[in-house]
């Protein structure tokens, strides 16, 4: 009888523990592990040692431009648009300045920063108006530039880059929209290519999607293959600095659930992991360059949430 009573109490206790564990609150994503004043998130993983190790990957010196050219026809997330106007200020009717007749051209850009190849900063995406490290938009938002989390705060990225060729994995030139890259897909491709994803890496996905630009812009802009929710959590658990792809949004569209841009939320506000959109990965994939030195020094628009970029990969 005593044994039965003891057993009953033990089972009840174990059940209570299980319920308590199931009801345990999730970690508070609004508190950065780098402290309450941190504004650079996963860029904290970057170190001189990582830069030196990345330099050791350079064997041929071949340089790959990862940015794409941008003009008025470049498809972009609505209502974004871009326009450039070239002018010769104050030179109408003049042969030029001084005896040497110097003339010059200047340009004016009218448009959104989030067009073409771009870096999404930590002030870009939030959850119910709360952004990375618990910053509330009411406290740091300003139409003339963010008071915190500006793209100008992001340090230069010099680290190891990893390319995962999803097009080769699926045996196609262009991976179908709605194809999600989660743990299995990411690990399978990494294993096939003989690469390991490590802390401090920049991970890029090649899907062939960017080849649709100028051929089928409507299709390009209305869906895409990309990182799934599980995949995003996996990559952030590895401690990567940034996740990018040759797509306009990096994450899978149509989304895996009713949540809108949930992968963006997991990467940016919840983990401080940067997003690199519209990366030109075709040449890297063609040459089967799966690890390389990644270098990015973005324009430091003060208080901006994004920046147009042209990072380089060096093999």
Structural domain includes residue 24: no
276 domain-assigned: yes
102 domain residue, yes or no: no
SS (H, E, C) 50-85: HHHHHHCCCCCCCEEECCCCCCCCCCCCCCCCEEEE
How far apart CA 201 and CA 276 sit, in angstroms, is 13
> Does residue 228 sit within a domain?
yes
Give the pair of three-digit tokens for residue 20. 């308590």
pLDDT given at position 17: 44
Question: Coil, strand or helix: which one is 264?
Answer: helix
Report the phi/psi class of residue 261: left, alpha or beta, with left for phi > 0 and alpha for psi in -120 to 50: left
Which three-class secondary structure state does DSSP give residue 123? coil
CA 26 – CA 74 distance, rounded (Å): 41
3-state secondary structure at position 313: strand
SS3 135: strand
Q: Is residue 91 part of a domain?
A: no
- One DSSP character per residue, 192-250 reads HHT----TT-EEEEE-SGGGGTTT-HHHHHH-B-EE-HHHHHHHHHHT-SEEEESSSSS
**Cα 223 to Cα 176: distance, rounded to the nearest angstrom:** 9
Give the integer Cα–Cα distance in Å for 232 and 254. 16
At residue 35, the 3 state secondary structure works out as coil
Tokens of 120: 């999404």
- 255-285 confidence digits (pLDDT tens): 999 999 999 999 999 999 999 999 999 999 9
- Residue 285 token pair: 């994939």
What pLDDT score was predicted for residue 155? Answer: 98
Q: What is the pTM of this model?
A: 0.91
Among 279, 270, 217, 276, which residue's Cα sits nearest to residue 246? 279
pLDDT number for residue 117: 98
**Residue 160's beta-bridge partner residues?**
293
- Listed as ranges, residues in the chain with pLDDT below 70 are 1-26
**What is the pLDDT at residue 26?**
67
- C-alpha torsion 152→154→159→161, nearest 10: -90
Q: What is the pLDDT of residue 24?
A: 57
Helix, strand, coil shares, percent, the chain, to 5: 30, 20, 50
pLDDT tens-place string over residues 211-263: 999 999 999 999 999 999 999 999 999 999 999 999 999 999 999 999 999 99
> Residue 108: which H helix or E strand, with range?
strand 106-111
Cβ atoms of residues 275 and 264 within 8 Å = yes
Is 101 a domain residue?
no
| Residue bearing tokens 């060096």 | 314
DSSP designation for 102 = B
Question: Is 304 inside any structural domain?
Answer: yes
Residue 223 lies in a domain: yes
pLDDT at 27 (0 to 100)? 76
pLDDT for 23 equals 54
* Domain carrying residue 270: 41-70+113-314
- Give the pLDDT of residue 21: 45
Task: Please report the pLDDT score of residue 25 as a whole number.
Answer: 61
Give the domain CATH number at 194: 3.50.30.50
Number of domains present in the structure of the chain: 1
**Cα–Cα dist 209/226, whole Å:** 10
């Amino acid at each position: 009888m005593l044994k039965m009573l003891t057993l009953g109490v033990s089972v009840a206790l174990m059940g209570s523990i299980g319920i308590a564990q199931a009801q345990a609150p999730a970690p508070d994503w609004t508190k950065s592990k780098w402290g309450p004043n941190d504004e650079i998130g996963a860029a904290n993983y970057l170190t001189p040692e990582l830069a030196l190790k990345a330099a050791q990957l350079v064997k041929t010196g071949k340089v790959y431009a990862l940015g794409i050219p941008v003009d008025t026809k470049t498809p972009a997330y609505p209502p974004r648009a871009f326009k450039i106007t070239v002018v010769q200020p104050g030179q109408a009717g003049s042969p030029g300045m001084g005896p040497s007749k110097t003339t010059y051209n200047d340009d004016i850009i009218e448009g959104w920063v989030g067009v073409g190849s771009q870096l999404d900063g930590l002030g870009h995406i939030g959850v119910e108006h709360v952004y990375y490290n618990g910053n509330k938009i009411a406290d740091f938002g300003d139409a003339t530039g963010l008071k915190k989390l500006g793209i100008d705060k992001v340090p230069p990225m010099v680290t190891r880059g990893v390319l995962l060729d999803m097009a080769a994995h699926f045996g196609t030139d262009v991976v179908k929209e709605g194809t999600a890259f989660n743990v299995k897909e990411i690990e399978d491709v990494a294993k096939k290519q003989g690469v390991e994803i490590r802390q401090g890496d920049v991970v890029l996905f090649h899907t062939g999607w960017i080849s649709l630009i100028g051929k089928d812009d409507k299709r390009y802009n209305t869906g895409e293959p990309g990182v799934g929710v599980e995949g995003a959590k996996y990559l952030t658990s590895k401690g990567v600095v940034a996740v990018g792809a040759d797509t306009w949004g990096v994450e899978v569209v149509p989304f895996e659930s009713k949540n809108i841009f949930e992968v963006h939320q997991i990467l940016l506000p919840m983990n401080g992991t940067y997003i690199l959109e519209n990366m030109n990965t075709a040449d890297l994939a063609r040459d089967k360059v799966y690890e390389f030195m990644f270098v990015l020094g973005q324009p430091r628009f003060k208080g901006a949430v994004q920046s147009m970029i042209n990072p380089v990969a060096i093999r």
